């Protein structure tokens, strides 16, 4: 059923991780959004040219054009769209660039549907529980895992990228993930 018939707010989700994109789309669909999914910036822009969206959730790192470029493109197509950017590689520089490009909020992964919906609708973060910040040890462990994944599991290459000794990296990776 189309969003015009149901009156549901239209949402575009652009993320290259298919499983995450589908799960988030399903969860936000259950929260009352009419969801359209895109696996790349190019696909998302094509959808935005064909349909007007009230909201967009955009991942920063995607193959091809970046999510920041997509934010600018979406903003140029429709200045009224509320865009929230999320990423697993959060930096202050990325956040500033995303906001300057036209995003209204910037979330770091892992994110859930409740947190995304609150950001899209402009509500402040919920107090306690789900919005608690992860520990520094947890953030470091997740970052090391992402860099290792980017290096296809090659510990030596990951250690070079991280500018740390290979054995130090192996020691950190051998530990269980810290609790959030």
Class of residue 74 by CB neighbours under 10 A (exposed 0-12, middle 13-18, buried 19+): buried
Q: What pairing do the DSSP bridges indicate for beta strands 82-87 and 105-108? A: parallel
pLDDT in tens, the chain (180 residues): 444 445 789 999 999 888 889 999 999 999 999 999 999 999 999 999 999 999 999 998 888 898 899 999 999 998 889 999 998 877 778 888 888 889 999 888 888 888 899 999 988 766 554 445 566 677 787 788 888 888 999 999 999 999 999 999 998 888 876 665
pLDDT score for 58: 94
Helix pair 155-162, 166-174: axis angle to 10 deg: 110
DSSP 53-122: -SEEEEES--SSS-HHHHHHHHHHH-TT-EEEEEESS--HHHHHHHHHHT-SEEEESS--HHHHHHHHHT
CATH no. of 136-174: 1.10.10.60
Q: Output the CA angle 134-82-24, nearest 5 degrees.
A: 50
Q: Which 3 state secondary structure label does DSSP give 40?
A: coil
Half-sphere exposure of 147 (CA within 13 A, CB side): 20
Closest CA to 87 of 171, 146, 5: 146
Q: In what order do the strands lie in the sheet with 34-38?
A: 34-38, 10-14, 55-59, 82-87, 105-108
CATH homologous superfamily, domain 3-131: Response regulator (3.40.50.2300)
Torsion 59-62-68-70 (CA) sign: negative
Instruction: Give me the residue spans of the domains in the chain.
Output: 3-131, 136-174
């Amino acid at each position: 059923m189309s969003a015009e018939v149901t009156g549901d707010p239209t949402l575009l989700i652009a993320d290259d991780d298919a499983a995450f994109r589908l799960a988030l789309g399903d969860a936000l669909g259950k929260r009352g959004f009419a969801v359209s999914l895109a696996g790349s910036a190019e696909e998302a822009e094509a959808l935005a040219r064909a349909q007007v969206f009230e909201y967009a959730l955009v991942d920063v790192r995607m193959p091809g054009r970046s999510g920041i470029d997509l934010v600018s493109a979406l903003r140029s197509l429709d200045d009224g769209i509320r865009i929230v950017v999320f990423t697993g590689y959060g930096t202050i520089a990325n956040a500033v660039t995303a906001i300057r490009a036209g995003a209204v909020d910037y979330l770091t992964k892992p994110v859930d549907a409740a947190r995304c919906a609150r950001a899209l609708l402009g509500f402040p973060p919920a107090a306690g529980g789900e919005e608690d910040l992860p520990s520094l040890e947890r953030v470091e462990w997740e970052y090391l895992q992402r860099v290792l994944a980017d290096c296809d599991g090659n510990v030596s290459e990951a250690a070079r990228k991280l500018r740390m000794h290979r054995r130090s990296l192996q020691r950190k990776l051998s530990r269980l993930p810290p609790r959030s």
